[in-house]
Chains A and B, each alone.
Chain A
């Protein structure tokens, strides 16, 4: 584990499960069986402090097309490089593209003597290597189903959705003007500031939409083993919904797409690894 890193990895066993839902939108159709190898997933999203440590250590690994430093943001860029804004370290990193998240995964891998999964310049990934990577959406869904056996958010104060309760809203960045988020508006809450789900994961539903590995596409019918998404395309799956998404749209099966170069305050990520 890299010094100072906020998250810990939680192991999930191999399994066969049904991915998708008939109760949501066309995008979650059709439910299908998936066979998954064991994997590990971060218990929280990568924090601004975690990401800042990477930016300071390896500034050449990220260019300004991969990270946005305009308000609201937890990390700014001044003459002496990337700076963590005061009071922002525990919030999840935002305003980073899919490829910035991938670059962070590679840095973690290098630090721990693992083989880097991503070739950032070539925009390719080799998921058969042992390094850190983004979770596949099937892995993400399996972990979230473990965490939410009933499939939905119950306590509005336990989930930072657009319908978050007052206790949750008090934790939002805007209440302390962190990152120049403003009071009374939607904003992220610090990682692990809300109770863990049944699998020990924090803020899987709500807070930030999380970058997943898969290119976005319609589900392929039939049983699959370790699915990795569409073969082509510039859109990636994002999972879990965010502080701008209604609570009733959040669940283990719900999926959205995001253009992979998008940098926005509603997207963050957590890391995964083979187990």
Chain B
């Protein structure tokens, strides 16, 4: 499927990520991951379906009043779409809002959907050859991270060996994993979640590496964090399915 088509469907399009061993050594029975980050158009479709565009939902998302990233907050607290920006990755969605969207997609598809774990994300981005960045072992700044003041439309980079686009650069992507304090400090949750892939706001090549882990406050609404959806198909006899 072309990058254009994946961005304009009402639901995400998925690529098959085959069974294998995740970084860290856990086996995976394989999964499907959305080809590109969830777009503004797709998130808008969900907002309308759930009647969420008519009220503020600060635990789920917060959009700038001035626009520029595809969805705009009005003074009354409702949300409006800037149609011409529908192919941008949706940003301003909290970790909680990303999880809620995944659950909604799961209900539409009749199969469980969720955010990828950091290990699943890393495995999917690195491909069968275990690459350092999504498309190779060299950091190609022009491809991954051209100078920008905001997100660019999805599908700007070619697909990796698993058929996934834009894993490196543009916007960070929420992963499922919580950030916890070390055992010596009580081991409690710190209210942050892992983000991966780098964004237009960072510069060092290391910040974009598939293995690199950052985190952010789980109620963050910023224009440099998006997310994609993991669709867990069930394989007969695969005990690792969750």
Contact = CB atoms under 8 A, between A and B. Distances in A.
**Do chains A and B stick together as partners?**
yes
Q: What DSSP secondary structure best describes chain B's contact surface?
A: loop
Interface in B138-192: 149, 172, 179, 181-182, 184-185, 190, 192
Contacts of B192: 71, 180
A64 B201 contact: yes
A77 B219 CA distance: 8
A259 B216 contact: no
A70 B215 contact: yes
A262 B201 CA distance: 9
A69 interface: yes
B6 interface: no
A77 B190 contact: no
Contact of A79 (B149, B190, B215, B219): B219
Interface in B22-39: none
Contact of B181 (A71, A78, A182): A182
Contacts of B224: 64
Interface string B211-222: 000111101111
B220 A77 contact: yes
A31 interface: no
Contacts of A245: none
Chain A, interface size: which category? 20 to 34
B56 interface: yes
Contacts of A182: 181-182, 185
Q: What DSSP secondary structure best describes chain A's contact surface?
A: loop
A68 B201 contact: yes
A16 interface: no
Contacts of B184: 183-184
Interface string B199-228: 001110000000000111101111110000
Interface of B: 56-59, 61-62, 94, 149, 172, 179, 181-182, 184-185, 190, 192, 195, 201-203, 214-217, 219-224
24 contacts: A64-B222, A64-B224, A69-B217, A69-B222, A70-B195, A70-B214, A70-B220, A71-B179, A71-B217, A77-B222, A78-B58, A78-B62, A78-B94, A78-B217, A79-B57, A79-B94, A79-B219, A80-B62, A85-B217, A177-B185, A180-B190, A182-B181, A183-B181, A259-B203
